[in-house]
């Protein structure tokens, strides 16, 4: 997994609540292998008009947001289906950080596993960021995971919370399977004692 | 110290607990469908071994054609994920309930039906509707592809302990009100992220009085309230449901299991992080009108008016939703005409669902295209044996083979752009049933009534048929 580096990027506001993973990537693209660039699938149907052309008003279709790495979204971003392709699509489109008042739980976990940082802030802080992005001369935001700080274009800083283990995973680009396999003996011991206490679970009969 | 049902199950599965409270949990059962190819591909790339192939079962459901199931799918492109599942499970030594097997069905229908789902276990699947299995008193939740790979490689998962929420539903349900109406009402009350970060336990007399299948419908949509898992304490109904299922414990193991399962309930003074109380008498036959499952109303309701919304961003969002859905403020839900009907999905495709829909369809004729997709091959056969299939066919419904079908549209069963579908599935998201599709979620009886009348119908007002 790619290690998460400090971001200094334009940020795009997506002021719509309950952006579900079906909107992030429609189901018909889910049969695509990971080796294919998923970036073109991102928000596929909601960033296009009825004739299939890119809608110039959609926030990620504007020239200044072509290279944006940061999305400032609304409540319950990534709710719905567990499809990890939603994170692949964001990542391959260059997005490295989504800031929102809340996230779908599965989406949040999937993000961490793919080097994408989800940041939860109070909704009033998000509203402030939207306002700043709308009125400031530039929309550059810095995201410093090590110090858990967001630097806004008006000079203001916001601190954010993240579980220390997830933070480490992101910064070092760790794959937790290797970490888990270090506990192999404990896993086997657990299975052995479980088979004695609850033999009907130990195998599929 | 008194414990919740969730805490009892959680503590049994903790292998390692980190200082921050995150735990390494043992996983008892893992179900995988076609979407698992991402996880198998990752393991292949990393040259990893599948640790306990005997604890995973593969089931084909998402891409399976409901019209030509013996081919897998009539479209080559849609057969590929099914073929990958077959190849990956074969290579790993994982048992597969694939195309044409008598056990095949939607993963969340097949699991309980085959006795793979048992009280007290932790069951995972790369699908957000895995919460369904919690209806049998286990901890079941959906995971992404990386976590599926982690389970395959280790038979464990790292999980942060969720907060707990008990939702107490008490009292008698009014006539015509079923499990689907309860869960739609509940989500409209607590919101689409009302349970985010929480593990839900459903309790109270209304829940106790539901059948096991009704409980599955409720737990299934926990994720639509943001909850990764929903569960219900197992009782005699649960034990009767599981007895003699293919993979249920047998003989002395059955007796041991039931003795254990009887200890699985929340203790009298157990503390939950949050409690929600719902009165059964407040619930009417309900349906959704918007693009979030929280946008549900009783069938007697009217489309809300954006003018009454003071928050600007909410007003704009509501206007956008009504535009997408092709609806006008103030319209009575009962005046909305539908273009097609889908009865199926892991939410509502079990035998009781089909009986409820058939009771409405009997002796009547559909006004719009309507398909019925049973949740498993076993349910299909049972419905045919009971005469339900004939009732549907005589009424003009299209009787199909099992699969996820038009809930997610991945197998090619789509609602065309701009068309309005009365659906018994779980998500009314924009484009969920196909690009431009407009979905209204409701119970099987309500969906059958919509097919018969060609519009949203209050089943309580449907005149009886002389047969």
Per-residue pLDDT reduced to its tens digit, A123-143? 999 999 999 999 887 889 999
Please give the distance of CA B96 from its chain centroid, rounded to a whole number.
21
Q: How far is B362 from chain A (nearest CA, A)?
A: 34
Between B257 and A65, the higher pLDDT residue: B257
User: DSSP code of B145?
Assistant: H
Average pLDDT over residues B425-434: 97
- Structure-token pair, residue B116: 């793979």
Q: Judge if B194 and B292 occupy the same domain.
A: no
Asked, for residue B153, whether it belongs to a domain, the answer is: yes
Please give the distance of CA B237 from its chain centroid, rounded to a whole number.
20
Q: Judge if B341 and B242 occupy the same domain.
A: no
- Structure-token pair, residue B371: 């398909």
Q: Judge if B338 and B453 occupy the same domain.
A: yes
As a whole-number percent, the residues of chain B with pLDDT over 70 amount to 100
Instruction: Judge whether residue A21 has pLDDT over 80.
Output: yes
Task: State how beta strands A149-151 and A157-159 pair.
Answer: antiparallel
Name the residue among B438, B464, B458 with its Cα closest to residue B181: B458
Average pLDDT over residues A27-42: 97
Q: Judge if B261 and B292 occupy the same domain.
A: no
Could you tell me the CA-to-CA distances from B461 to A4, B180, B300 in Å, in that order? Answer: 59, 19, 11
Query: In this structure, what is the dihedral angle of CA atoms B451, B455, B459, B463, given to the nearest 10 degrees?
Result: -90
Range of the domain at B197: 5-275
Buried b (16+ CB within 10 A) or exposed e, B276-287: bebebeebbbbb
Please give the distance of CA A128 from its chain centroid, rounded to a whole number.
21
Asked, for residue B282, whether it belongs to a domain, the answer is: no
The pLDDT tens digits for B354-399 are 999 999 999 999 999 999 999 999 999 999 999 999 999 999 999 9
State how far the Cα of B143 lies from the Cα of B156, in Å rounded to an integer.
12
As a whole-number percent, the residues of chain A with pLDDT over 90 amount to 87
Q: What residues contact A40, with CB distance under 8 A and at least 6 apart? A: A93
pLDDT at B28: 98
| Residue ranges of A 169-198 with Cβ closer than 8 A to chain B | 175-177, 180-181, 183, 186-187, 190-191, 194, 198
Interface probe, candidates B45, B146, B259, B326, chain A, greatest A C-beta count within 10 A:
B146
A181 → closest Cβ in B29, B142, B154: B154
Asked, for residue B283, whether it belongs to a domain, the answer is: no
Q: What residues contact A34, with CB distance under 8 A and at least 6 apart? A: A88, B38, B41, B42
pLDDT at A175: 87
The pLDDT tens digits for B70-109 are 999 999 999 999 999 999 999 999 999 999 999 999 999 9
Residues of B in contact with A74 (CB under 8 A): 313
Asked, for residue B466, whether it belongs to a domain, the answer is: no
User: Are A32 and A145 in contact, with CB atoms under 8 Å apart?
Assistant: no
A201 → closest Cβ in B28, B46, B228: B28
Average pLDDT over residues B266-285: 98
A177 → closest Cβ in B118, B145, B149: B149
**In this complex, how many residue pairs, one in chain A and one in chain B, have their CB atoms less than 8 Å apart?**
183
- pLDDT band for B186, please (50, 70, 90 cuts): very high
Q: Judge if B228 and B306 occupy the same domain.
A: no
The pLDDT tens digits for A59-98 are 999 988 989 999 999 999 999 999 999 999 999 999 999 9
- pLDDT band for B116, please (50, 70, 90 cuts): very high
Instruction: Judge whether residue A160 has pLDDT over 80.
Output: yes
pLDDT at A137: 77
B38 → closest Cβ in A34, A194, A203: A34
ipTM of this predicted structure = 0.97
Instruction: Judge whether residue B20 has pLDDT over 90.
Output: no
Residues of B in contact with A204 (CB under 8 A): 29, 54-55, 57, 95, 116, 247
State how far the Cα of B115 lies from the Cα of B103, in Å rounded to an integer.
11
Asked, for residue B467, whether it belongs to a domain, the answer is: no
State how far the Cα of B123 lies from the Cα of B140, in Å rounded to an integer.
5
pLDDT at B30: 98
Nearest residue of A to residue B427 by CA position? A80
State how far the Cα of A41 lies from the Cα of A28, in Å rounded to an integer.
10
User: Are B342 and B411 in contact, with CB atoms under 8 Å apart?
Assistant: no
Domains of chain A, each with CATH number or no CATH = 7-174 (3.20.19.10), 175-205 (no CATH)
A205 → closest Cβ in B145, B223, B250: B250
pLDDT at A136: 80
Asked, for residue B323, whether it belongs to a domain, the answer is: yes
- pLDDT band for B268, please (50, 70, 90 cuts): very high
Task: State how beta strands B229-231 and B198-203 pair.
Answer: parallel
Q: Judge if B193 and B295 occupy the same domain.
A: no
Q: Judge if B398 and B313 occupy the same domain.
A: yes
Instruction: Judge whether residue B415 has pLDDT over 90.
Output: yes
Residues of B in contact with A45 (CB under 8 A): 430-431, 435
The pLDDT tens digits for B291-334 are 999 999 999 999 999 999 998 888 999 999 999 999 999 999 99
A84 → closest Cβ in B38, B153, B292: B38
Please give the distance of CA B35 from its chain centroid, rounded to a whole number.
17
Residue A2 CB coordination number (10 Å): 11
Q: Judge if B88 and B179 occupy the same domain.
A: yes
State how far the Cα of B239 lies from the Cα of B466, in Å rounded to an integer.
39
Residues of A in contact with B152 (CB under 8 A): none
Interface probe, candidates B20, B34, B193, chain A, greatest A C-beta count within 10 A:
B193
Q: Judge if B96 and B225 occupy the same domain.
A: yes
pLDDT at B312: 86
State phi, psi for B327 to the nearest 5 degrees.
-125, 150
The pLDDT tens digits for B29-62 are 999 999 999 999 999 999 999 999 999 999 999 9
Last residue of a domain, one of B225, B253, B275: B275
Q: What residues contact B466, with CB distance under 8 A and at least 6 apart? A: B363
State phi, psi for B200 to the nearest 5 degrees.
-95, 135
Average pLDDT over residues B409-421: 97
State how far the Cα of B174 lies from the Cα of B161, in Å rounded to an integer.
37
Interface probe, candidates A29, A47, A180, chain B, greatest B C-beta count within 10 A:
A180
pLDDT at A64: 86
Nearest residue of B to residue A107 by CA position? B144
Q: Judge if B219 and B367 occupy the same domain.
A: no
Nearest residue of A to residue B151 by CA position? A177
Asked if A84's CB is within 8 angstroms of B410's CB, the reply is: no
The pLDDT tens digits for B125-178 are 999 999 999 999 999 999 999 999 999 999 999 999 999 999 999 999 999 999
Average pLDDT over residues B198-219: 98
The CATH number given to whatever domain includes residue B335 is: 3.30.499.10
pLDDT at A1: 85
State how far the Cα of B298 lies from the Cα of B276, in Å rounded to an integer.
20
Beta bridge partners of B14: B25
Task: State how beta strands B95-97 and A7-14 pair.
Answer: unpaired
Residue A159 CB coordination number (10 Å): 10
pLDDT at B114: 98
Q: Judge if B134 and B242 occupy the same domain.
A: yes
Tallying the residues shown for chain B, one arrives at: 467
Q: Judge if B104 and B185 occupy the same domain.
A: yes
Last residue of a domain, one of B236, B254, B275: B275
Interface probe, candidates B94, B136, B144, chain A, greatest A C-beta count within 10 A:
B144
Nearest residue of A to residue B291 by CA position? A18
Give me the number of domains chain B comprises.
2
Last residue of a domain, one of B275, B309, B337: B275
- Structure-token pair, residue B22: 């995150």
Q: How far is B460 from chain A (nearest CA, A)?
A: 32
Asked, for residue B361, whether it belongs to a domain, the answer is: yes
Asked if A191's CB is within 8 angstroms of B26's CB, the reply is: yes
């Amino acid at each position: 997994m790619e290690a998460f580096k400090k971001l200094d990027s334009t940020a795009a506001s997506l002021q719509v609540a309950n952006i579900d993973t079906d909107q992030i990537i429609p189901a018909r693209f889910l049969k695509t292998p990971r080796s294919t660039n998923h970036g073109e699938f991102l928000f596929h149907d909601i960033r296009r008009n009825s004739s299939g052309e890119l809608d110039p008003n959609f926030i990620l279709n504007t020239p200044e947001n072509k290279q944006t790495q940061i999305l400032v979204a609304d409540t319950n971003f990534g709710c719905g289906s567990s499809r990890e392709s939603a994170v692949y699509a964001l990542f391959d489109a260059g997005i490295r950080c989504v800031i929102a008042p809340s996230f779908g739980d599965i989406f949040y976990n999937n993000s961490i596993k793919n080097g994408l940082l989800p940041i939860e802030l109070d909704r009033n802080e998000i509203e402030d960021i939207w306002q700043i992005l709308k009125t400031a001369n530039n929309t550059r935001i810095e995201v410093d995971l090590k110090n858990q700080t967001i630097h806004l274009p008006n000079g203001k800083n916001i601190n954010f919370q993240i579980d220390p283990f997830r933070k480490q995973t992101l910064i070092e680009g760790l794959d937790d399977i290797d970490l888990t396999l270090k506990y192999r003996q404990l896993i086997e011991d657990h299975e052995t004692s479980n088979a004695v206490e609850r033999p009907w679970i130990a195998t599929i009969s | 110290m008194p414990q919740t049902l969730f805490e009892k199950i959680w503590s049994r599965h903790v292998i390692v607990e980190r200082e921050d409270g995150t735990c390494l949990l043992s996983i008892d059962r893992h179900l995988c469908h076609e979407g698992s190819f991402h996880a198998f591909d990752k393991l292949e790339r990393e040259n990893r071994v599948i640790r306990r192939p005997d604890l995973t079962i593969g089931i084909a459901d998402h891409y399976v054609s409901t019209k030509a199931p013996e081919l897998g799918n009539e479209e080559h492109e849609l057969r590929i994920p099914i073929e990958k599942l077959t190849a990956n499970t074969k290579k790993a030594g994982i048992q597969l309930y694939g195309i044409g097997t008598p056990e095949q069905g939607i993963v969340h229908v097949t699991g309980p039906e085959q006795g793979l789902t048992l009280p007290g276990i932790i069951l995972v699947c790369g699908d957000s509707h895995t919460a369904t299995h919690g209806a049998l008193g286990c901890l079941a939740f959906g995971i992404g592809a990386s976590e599926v790979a982690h389970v395959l490689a280790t038979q464990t998962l790292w999980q942060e302990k969720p907060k707990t929420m008990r939702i107490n539903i008490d009292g008698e349900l009014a006539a015509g009100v079923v499990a689907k109406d309860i869960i739609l009402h509940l989500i409209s009350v607590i919101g689409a992220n009302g349970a985010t970060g929480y593990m839900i336990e459903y309790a109270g007399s209304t829940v106790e009085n539901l059948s096991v299948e009704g409980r599955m419908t409720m737990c299934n949509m926990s994720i639509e309230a943001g909850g990764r898992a929903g569960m219900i304490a197992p009782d005699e109904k649960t034990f009767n449901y599981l007895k003699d299922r293919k993979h249920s414990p047998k003989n002395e193991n059955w007796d041991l299991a039931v003795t254990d399962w009887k200890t699985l309930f929340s203790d009298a003074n157990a503390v939950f992080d949050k409690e929600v109380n719902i009165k059964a008498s407040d619930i009417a036959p309900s349906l959704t009108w918007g693009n979030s499952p929280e946008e549900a109303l009783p069938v007697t309701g009217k489309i809300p008016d954006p003018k009454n919304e003071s928050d600007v961003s909410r007003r704009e969002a509501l206007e956008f939703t009504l535009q997408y859905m092709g609806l006008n403020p103030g319209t009575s839900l009962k005046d909305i005409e539908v273009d097609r009907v889908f009865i199926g999905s892991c939410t509502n495709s079990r035998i009781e669902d089909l009986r409820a829909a058939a009771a409405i369809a009997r002796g009547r004729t559909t006004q719009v295209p309507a398909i019925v997709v049973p949740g498993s091959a076993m349910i299909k056969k049972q419905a045919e044996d009971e005469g339900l299939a004939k009732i549907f066919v005589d009424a003009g419904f299209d009787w199909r083979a099992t699969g996820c079908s038009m809930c997610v549209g991945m197998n090619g069963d789509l609602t065309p752009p701009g068309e309005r579908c009365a659906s018994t599935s779980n998500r009314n998201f924009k484009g969920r049933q196909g690009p431009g599709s407009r979905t209204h979620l409701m119970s099987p009886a309500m969906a059958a009534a919509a097919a018969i009348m060609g519009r949203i119908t209050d089943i309580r007002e449907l005149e009886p048929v002389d047969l």
